[in-house]
Amino acid sequence: MKICIACGMPMKELSDFAGEDTSKDYCVHCARPDGSMQSFEERKTNMINFIIKTQGFDEKAATKIAENNMKKLPAWKEYFNIGD
Amino acid sequence: MKSKRQLQKENTKIKIFKTAYNIYSEYGFTATTAMIAKEAGVSHGTIFVHFSSVNELLTCLIESFGDNLALEIHDLAEKNDSIKKLLETHLNILSKHENFYIHLISEKSLIPEDVQMALVNIQSNFAFHFNRIIEREIQRHAVKSIPIHMIFNTWIGLIHYYLLNKDLFSPDEPLLKRYSSELIKTFLELIKD
């Protein structure tokens, strides 16, 4: 089973994949309307907003959670190694 | 094929993992690795052959519990199931790990910050699927139009209150087994449009 490289979601069904294309390594939630993968900043902002919307956390805490999540994901790992 | 030695090594790791889970479930996160080693019948140093630190062991345990929950909830959410089914699955998994989970939420401040993140991730993952189902239900006017985070926090708050006060609600038997259906029924009644 594939796991989305940009958010970690398991991708089992066709509808989980970006553009329903199983050759893609990222999921439908991490794709832009044109089908390409969201950038680091886009993904981070989306993740922060999503955490605030679904759990009501403070923005600072939500940012920390989003960053912690992203640094474990194959798509974003390198963003955290630079300047660490 | 794996050599006998490799298999033995894997078995020891599984044994440490399972023993650690049992020890933490029973004694909470103040339990020491010496206790785990003694119970697993291995030397203290053996634990650190398999896990580089206590933090790594703790993170592995919490993440494995989280993966368990995430997979079951993901399958369910994909099937477009009802809120009732989502809540039932949530409590069903928590009830399988009830003691471990109670220690996790009541001793959160005792566990190292990076390990705490593993717990936060579990809730975030559940919130993701909760959101999908609740949003759909709000749209079709089956659930009151209340901000999603308040619906989510009301649910988590309710079950955590019961779990944290297990000594008062259900001192002698598993709490969720006793209260799951009442908690779910009440919550659904409260959010119904």
Instruction: Indicate whether B139 and B187 sit together in one domain.
Output: yes
Domain residue extents for chain A: 2-79
C-alpha–C-alpha distance, residues B99 and B48, integer Å: 25
Between chains, do A12 and B117 touch, taking CB under 8 Å as contact?
no
> How many Å lie between the alpha carbon of A61 and the closest alpha carbon of chain B?
11
> How many Å lie between the alpha carbon of A36 and the closest alpha carbon of chain B?
22
Could you tell me how many CB contacts below 8 A there are between chain A and chain B? 45
- Across B24-41, average pLDDT: 95
Residue A84 has pLDDT above 70, yes or no: no
Q: Residue B44: which domain range?
A: 1-51
Instruction: Indicate whether B143 and B177 sit together in one domain.
Output: yes
Cβ-Cβ contacts under 8 Å, B147 against chain A: 56
| Domain end residue (candidates: B51, B68, B84) | B51
Between chains, do A12 and B75 touch, taking CB under 8 Å as contact?
yes
Between chains, do A54 and B128 touch, taking CB under 8 Å as contact?
yes
Q: Contacts from A69-76 at CB under 8 Å and sequence distance 24+?
A: A69/A7, A69/A8, A69/B121, A69/B124, A70/A40, A70/A43, A70/A44, A72/A8, A73/A5, A73/A6, A73/A7, A73/A8, A74/A5, A74/A25, A75/A5, A75/A6, A75/A25, A75/A26, A75/A37, A75/A43, A76/A6, A76/A40, A76/A43
Mean pLDDT of chain A: 91
Instruction: Indicate whether B68 and B153 sit together in one domain.
Output: yes
Instruction: Indicate whether B16 and B101 sit together in one domain.
Output: no
Chain B, 108-147: which have a CB under 8 Å from a chain A CB? 117, 120-121, 123-124, 127-128, 130-131, 147
- Across A17-32, average pLDDT: 94
pLDDT, one tens digit per residue, over B90-129 is 999 999 999 999 999 999 998 888 888 888 988 998 998 8
Instruction: Indicate whether B41 and B80 sit together in one domain.
Output: no
Instruction: Indicate whether B10 and B63 sit together in one domain.
Output: no
pLDDT at residue number A82: 61
pLDDT, one tens digit per residue, over B177-188 is 999 999 999 999
Instruction: Indicate whether B110 and B40 sit together in one domain.
Output: no
Instruction: Indicate whether B13 and B97 sit together in one domain.
Output: no
Residue A83 has pLDDT above 60, yes or no: no
Helix (H, G, I), strand (E, B) or coil at B80: coil
Mean pLDDT of chain B: 92
Mutate which of B120, B121, B150 to disrupt the A interface (most A C-beta within 10 Å)?
Answer: B120
Residue B9 belongs to domain with CATH number:
1.10.10.60
Cβ-Cβ contacts under 8 Å, A9 against chain B: 74
Instruction: Indicate whether B174 and B81 sit together in one domain.
Output: yes
Q: Regarding predicted confidence, which is higher, B75 or B178?
A: B178
pLDDT at residue number A35: 93
How many domains are contained in chain B?
Answer: 2
Cβ-Cβ contacts under 8 Å, A56 against chain B: 147, 149-150, 152-153
The residue among A24, A25, A21, A69 whose CA lies nearest residue A46 is A69
Residue B139 belongs to domain with CATH number:
1.10.357.10
Instruction: Indicate whether B58 and B82 sit together in one domain.
Output: yes
Instruction: Indicate whether B42 and B60 sit together in one domain.
Output: no
Query: Given pLDDT bands bounded at 50, 70 and 90, which one contains residue B61?
Result: very high
Contact B85, B143 (CB under 8 A): no
Contact B91, B184 (CB under 8 A): yes
Instruction: Indicate whether B71 and B28 sit together in one domain.
Output: no
pLDDT at residue number A81: 74
